[in-house]
């Protein structure tokens, strides 16, 4: 019997979940309650399975998402997740077939681009994705940070208060919406996301540790401007504390809120080290410390990958700090976004249209995705041979148009 790729029915879900768990090296066991909860988070019309003689051997799903681009606009994204192929069925083109099916449907639905978080680097470039954001994780040694140990709260008149999960579900969406209105790379969060993040909706197969939450409110009013969720351990040696705090989520819409929340975390009694979680590479954290060396980088890696589906709409949606024009020759083996396009951009807006003019910069759709949010340099990619200048100086002009003053950041795994 040939291998079949199709959308799954509700009756397929237990088998699909077993294949998903197998692919991610997790125990392939799910209670009826967990199957029911997971069903509530799936769009079955966008959930694909690869089947061999009726058994699920590959998984793939997508869902609607919004991605913030430079300038604050939110574009319609097709978020890809839960991608696996069972070890018995590798190298048979199953992922390629599922990817091609979903990306074609996403373009038909009007998605401007697709997004994913790549577990492994080499896989997704061949499907037109490129890494568009990176993250850095720091571990801060509190004793070396140089902060005033007598700190008892923000010196700007604001305040930090502990809150519970129910408060986070009330306050968090507003703070996050304000953040993603201005931070390129951030993605939308659903009510279900907030329920999962606060333990209001739990999966029996995933261990849950109840976190702590704190909110920062400015002196100007009671409006929250930052939230942090963290956990802490209880490690003692020879009657001395060696406890660590780990950030699960920290979002802030002002530098004052970010400063206050980090200072709060680094001032918790008994905590000797704080792990930052997934932060933007240009995050303020190290430079908020009198001794930035106390923040040691533990991980730095690519994070959000982008696959452009509608290049004119994507390039017209974002803003540009400079003015100029550029003719891009975009190669896309899948044929979803290939073509030659002329971009005319200025701080007042941009137009991007197909053109027959001579190309100035030739690149793949994946490399254009890498450049899209402004984090990477076309000059650097040209040096690597990934972007080809057809006219001298085209890569420099691309950087002048596309690069942003702050690096894009995606705080969410999906």
Establish whether 124 is a catalytic residue.
yes
- In the block, tokens 């980090």 appear at 262
Q: How far apart are alpha carbons 407 and 375 in whole angstroms? A: 6
Asked whether 334 and 128 are in contact (CB, 8 A), the reply is yes
Q: What is residue 85's DSSP assignment?
A: E
Q: Is residue 214 left, alpha or beta, with left meaning phi > 0 and alpha meaning psi from -120 to 50?
A: beta
Give the residue among 61, 43, 62, 50 at the shortest CA–CA distance from 19: 50
Q: How far apart are alpha carbons 368 and 306 in whole angstroms? A: 9
- Strands of 349-354's sheet in order across: 349-354, 339-346, 324-331, 361-364, 387-389
SS3 (DSSP) at 106:
helix
- What would the two tokens of residue 273 be? 């080290």
- What would the two tokens of residue 127 be? 């499907």
Asked whether 186 and 411 are in contact (CB, 8 A), the reply is yes
**Exactly one of 30, 51, 60, 124 is catalytic; which is it?**
124
For 72, 136, 166, 183, 302, the CA distances from 278, given in Å and listed in that order, are 21, 6, 24, 15, 11
Give the residue among 117, 45, 109, 53 at the shortest CA–CA distance from 83: 117
Contacts of 172 (CB under 8 A, 6+ apart): 189, 194, 197, 227, 251
Q: How far apart are alpha carbons 371 and 64 in whole angstroms? A: 23
Number of Cβ within a 10 Å radius of residue 210: 9
SS3 (DSSP) at 277:
coil
Establish whether 372 is a catalytic residue.
no
Could you give the residue numbers annotated as active site?
124, 414
């Amino acid at each position: 019997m040939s291998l079949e790729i199709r959308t799954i029915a509700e009756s397929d879900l237990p088998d699909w979940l077993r294949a998903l768990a197998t692919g991610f090296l997790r125990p392939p066991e799910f209670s009826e309650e967990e199957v029911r909860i997971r069903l509530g988070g799936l769009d079955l019309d966008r959930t694909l399975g690869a089947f061999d003689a009726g058994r699920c051997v590959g998984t793939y799903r997508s869902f609607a998402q919004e991605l913030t681009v430079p300038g604050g606009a939110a574009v319609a994204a097709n978020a890809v997740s839960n991608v696996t192929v069972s070890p018995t069925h590798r190298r048979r083109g199953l992922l390629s077939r599922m990817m091609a099916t979903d990306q074609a449907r996403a373009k038909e639905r009007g998605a401007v681009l697709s997004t994913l978080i790549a577990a492994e680097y080499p896989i997704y470039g061949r499907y037109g994705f490129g890494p568009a954001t990176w993250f850095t994780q720091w571990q801060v040694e509190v004793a070396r940070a140089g902060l005033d140990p007598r700190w008892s709260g923000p010196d700007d008149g604001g305040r930090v208060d502990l809150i519970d999960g129910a408060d986070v579900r009330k306050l968090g969406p507003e703070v996050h919406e304000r953040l993603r209105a201005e931070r390129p790379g951030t993605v939308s969060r659903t009510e279900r996301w907030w329920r999962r993040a606060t333990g209001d909706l739990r999966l029996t197969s995933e261990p849950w540790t109840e976190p702590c939450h704190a909110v920062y409110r400015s002196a100007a009013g009671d409006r929250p401007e930052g939230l942090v969720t963290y956990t802490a351990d209880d490690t003692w040696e020879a009657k001395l504390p060696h406890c660590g705090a780990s950030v699960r989520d920290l979002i802030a819409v002002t530098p004052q809120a970010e400063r206050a929340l980090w200072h709060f975390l680094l001032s918790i009694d008994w905590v000797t080290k704080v792990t930052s979680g997934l932060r933007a590479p240009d995050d303020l954290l190290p430079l908020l410390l009198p001794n930035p060396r106390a923040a040691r980088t533990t991980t730095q890696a690519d994070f959000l990958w982008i696959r452009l589906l509608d290049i004119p709409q994507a390039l017209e949606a974002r803003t540009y700090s400079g003015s100029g024009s550029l003719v891009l020759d975009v190669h896309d083996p899948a044929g979803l976004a290939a073509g030659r396009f002329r971009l005319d951009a200025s701080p007042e807006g941009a137009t991007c249209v197909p053109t027959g003019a001579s190309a100035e910069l030739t690149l793949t759709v994946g490399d254009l995705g890498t450049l899209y949010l402004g984090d990477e340099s076309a000059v650097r990619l040209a040096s690597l041979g990934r972007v080809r200048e057809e006219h001298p100086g085209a890569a420099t002009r691309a950087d002048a148009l596309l690069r942003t003053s702050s690096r894009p950041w995606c705080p969410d795994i999906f």
